[in-house]
Amino acid sequence: MSLRSEASSAEAVTAGPGPSESRPSWYRRPLPRFVAGRFLASLVILFGITLISFMLTQAVPADPAVAALGQQATPAQLANYREVHGLDDPLVVQYVHYMKNLLHGNLGVSQQTHNSVMADLGSFVPATLELALLAMVMATVIGVGFGILAALYRDRWPDHVLRVVSLSGISVPVFWLALVLLYLFFYVWGLLPGGGRLDPSMTPPPHVTGMYTVDALLHGQWSVFVNALQHVILPSAVLAASSIGLLTRYTRSAVLDVIDQDYVRAARAQGLSERTVVFGYVLRAALPSVITVIGLLFANVLTGAVLVENIFAWPGIGRYGYQAASTLDLPAIMGVSLFVALVYLVVNFVVDLLYGVLDPRIRVT
């Protein structure tokens, strides 16, 4: 969803994004210490997430036994189920039991799919990743392009138009946009397929990455690739919409930030072509900020897939998480939450590292 992506980047304007709290200090501290510190902090966060999701699901007045056995179950059967699944144990015991399994890499068995949560994640994550990656590619290409354009035409009509366009991208309700596009592209014009990852008559390509487009290419299955690509375009375009808006804004700011710097002006004075100036100096200097935003957006796109995946019948973790939350499937909720948090932490970490590598000023210090 967009609230936090917008907010966290809006926050960047005023106070710097969360992970960057350590940013000014990382190049002062030795890298190993920085990594170790981050790792420990991440462990604390992940632990907190298990605790919160566990407490939340325990607070639910629903009885998992009734949910599993249905309306006709007798009290004896319910008691039996509770005993088998350890539901009568004290909460602390249940939690310790869960954590013990977690440390062994066992996320438990989903009450809903009756698969191990690990296996479920293994099959759902690549689908979401495929969606999110394409969305980020679209958003980056278009958003950065718009941003540079807007900066170069600062306060003139292309800038104003792009501003309205990017604000529209942030303002449009994702689920509504998804339905409108589905209606037009699938139902009215018949240009693109209407949901799922592949036509039912097609057999998925052999599993390598789990991303159908990539796997199909790896095996040279051209028709499968085209079919999979057609399926992924609409949902990823919808996911990209709000990211485009934000990326436009931040690219514009970042480019404006450097465009008047002395070295850029010097480069221009030396008679370098505009293309060289923009690509060689301006964009390069703006890159760290843009990468930070892309990182933040990527983590958010991954979690923001809930609505889009539901509408496009996309079997990713968004829909899995939605189903898990609506059936109060504790192991699955915990699994999805932990996975998403992990992605969030890793992406932030990578972004921070990249930031240091890419920002010339930081490197100079």
Partner 1 sequence: MTTLRRQSRFRDRRKSLSFLATGLVSALALTACGGGSGSGSTSSSGNADTLVVDTSFVMTSFDPDRALTPTLSIATRGIYDTLLTTTPGDSSPQPSIAKSFDASKDAKTYTFHLRDGVKFADGTKLTSADVVFSFQRLANLQLGGSYLMDGLTVSAPDPQTVVLTSKDPKPAIPAMVSTPAFVILNSAEVKAGGGTDGTDAPKADKADTWFNSHSAGSGPYVLSSYKADDSITLVRNDNYWGTKPKFARVVIRNMTAATQLLNVQRGTNEVALDLSATQSKPLASNKAVTVLTDPSSAVFRLQLNMDPSASSVSSNADFQAAVRDGINYDAMVQLAGDGAIQAPGLIPSTVPGALPASDAVKQDLTKAKQELSASGISSPSVTLSYPTGINVNGLDFATLAARVQADLGAMGIKVKLQGLQVANYLSQWGKGKMEMTVTYNLPDYLDPAYYSSFVPGASSDAVRAGWSKVDAQNQKIVDLGNQINSTVDDAQRAQLAQELQRDLNASSPYVPLMQTAQTVVSSATLSGVKLDPLWTLDVAAIGSK
Partner 2 sequence: MTDLETMPIAQKRATLPMRLRRRRLPASLRRPLAITGLVIVVIWVIVMVAAPLIAHQDPINPSSELLSAPSGAHWFGTDELGRDVFSRVIHASRVSLPLGFLLVVIAVSIGCLVGAVAGFFGGWVDSLLMRLVDIVFAFPAIILAMVVTAVLGPSLQNAVLALALVTWPTYARVVRGLVLSAGRAEYVQSVRLLGASSTRALRKDVAPNVVGPVLVLATLDIGNAILLLAGLSFLGLGAQPPNPEWGAMVSEGTANFQAWWIGTFPGLAMFSVVLAFNFIGDSLRDAIDPRSSWGSGERS
Q: What mask, x for binding partner 2 by CB under 8 A, covers residues 122 to 161?
A: --------------------------------------x-
Binder of residue 340, out of partner 2, partner 1, none (CB less than 5 to 8 A by kind): partner 2
Radius of gyration of the chain (CA): 24
CB of 161 to partner 1, least distance (A): 13
Contact 232, 251 (CB under 8 A): no
Based on the shown chain and the rule CB under 8 A, indicate whether residue 60 belongs to the binding site for partner 1. Answer: yes
Based on the shown chain and the rule CB under 8 A, indicate whether residue 15 belongs to the binding site for partner 2. Answer: yes
Q: What mask, x for binding partner 1 by CB under 8 A, covers residues 156 to 195?
A: -----------------------x--xx-xxx--xxxxxx
Binder of residue 241, out of partner 1, partner 2, none (CB less than 5 to 8 A by kind): none
Secondary structure string (H, E, C) spanning the chain: CHHHHHHHHHHHHHCCCHHHHHHHHHCCCCHHHHHHHHHHHHHHHHHHHHHHHHHHHHHCCCCHHHHHHCCCCCHHHHHHHHHHCCCCCCHHHHHHHHHHHHHCCCCCECCCCCCEHHHHHHHHHHHHHHHHHHHHHHHHHHHHHHHHHHHHCCCCHHHHHHHHHHHHHHHCCHHHHHHHHHHHHHHHCCCCCCCCCCCCCCCCCCCCCCCHHHHHHHCCCHHHHHHHHHHHHHHHHHHHHHHHHHHHHHHHHHHHHHHCCHHHHHHHHCCCCHHHHHHHHHHHHHHHHHHHHHHHHHHHHHHCHHHHHHHCCCCCHHHHHHHHHHHCCHHHHHHHHHHHHHHHHHHHHHHHHHHHHHCHHHHHC
Find the binding residues for partner 2 in span 17-36 (CB under 8 A): 18, 20, 23-24
Residues 6+ apart with CB under 8 A from 98: 50, 54, 108, 331, 334
Residue matched to tokens 């889009």: 308
Q: What mask, x for binding partner 1 by CB under 8 A, covers residues 250 to 269?
A: ------x--xx----x----
Question: Applying CB under 8 A, which of residues 117, 139, 239, 345 lies at the interface with partner 2?
Answer: 345
Binder of residue 115, out of partner 1, partner 2, none (CB less than 5 to 8 A by kind): partner 1
Total number of residues that touch partner 2 (CB under 8 A):
77
Based on the shown chain and the rule CB under 8 A, indicate whether residue 61 belongs to the binding site for partner 1. Answer: yes
Based on the shown chain and the rule CB under 8 A, indicate whether residue 53 belongs to the binding site for partner 1. Answer: no
Find the binding residues for partner 2 in span 184-243 (CB under 8 A): 187
Q: In the numeric block, which tokens belong to residue 202?
A: 């097609």
Between 297 and 324, name the residue whose CB sits nearer to partner 2: 324
- Pick the piece of the chain touching partner 2 (CB under 8 A) from 51-59, 81-89, 99-107, 123-131: 51-59
Based on the shown chain and the rule CB under 8 A, indicate whether residue 200 belongs to the binding site for partner 1. Answer: yes
Q: What mask, x for binding partner 2 by CB under 8 A, covers residues 268 to 307?
A: ---------------------x--x----------xx-xx
Q: What mask, x for binding partner 1 by CB under 8 A, covers residues 302 to 341?
A: --------xxxx-x---xx--x--xxx-------------
CB of 76 to partner 1, least distance (A): 7
Between 212 and 250, name the residue whose CB sits nearer to partner 2: 250
Based on the shown chain and the rule CB under 8 A, indicate whether residue 201 belongs to the binding site for partner 1. Answer: yes
CB of 309 to partner 2, least distance (A): 11
Q: 182-210: buried (b, 16+ CB within 10 Å) or exposed (e) per residue?
A: beebbeeeeebbeeebbeeebeebeeeeb
Binder of residue 105, out of partner 2, partner 1, none (CB less than 5 to 8 A by kind): none
Question: Applying CB under 8 A, which of residues 14, 71, 72, 203 lies at the interface with partner 2?
Answer: 14
The amino acid present at 57, given as its one-letter code, is T
Question: Applying CB under 8 A, which of residues 230, 257, 280, 353 lies at the interface with partner 1?
Answer: 230
